Amino acid sequence: KRYSKDDTTNFRGGLLGELVPQGYCRSQVLDRACFEVPLGQMEGPFESEYGCHLILVSERMNCPKLDGGETKLVQTSDGDVFGTLVPSQQVGQVGAGFFIGQVGYWLFVFLAGGILAELITNLM
């Protein structure tokens, strides 16, 4: 916080927060580094047009070719400084719960539609 010259991130200790998909970052150096740095490893310093940076990627979503199944960094104990890699929810993955919910929904719609059609037919 004390040495950062970036007024937009210095109050957070220089943390950039969540970044958008690759190719949207203003700095090509930072954009490339965020997708090349292995999860859970401190890398740097990187120099960009915005200054010098240290990068620690704590989670990446929808990058299974880069990270495999372990995609989130979680601190499991006080002594665990950089955390432990664990699986995280990937956008677009369909689990059993989602599938069962969809089947239930469409069965309900089908049955309700049939009952409604029967009621309308009997009223006419």
Bridge partners, 52 (sequence order) = 47
pTM: 0.45
pLDDT tens-place string over residues 63-88: 666 666 666 666 666 666 566 666 66
pLDDT band at 107 (very low <50, low <70, confident <90, very high): very high
Cβ-contact 6, 27 below 8 angstroms: no
Give the tens place of pLDDT for each residue, 86-103.
666 655 555 677 778 888
Alpha-carbon distance 50 to 29, whole Å? 10
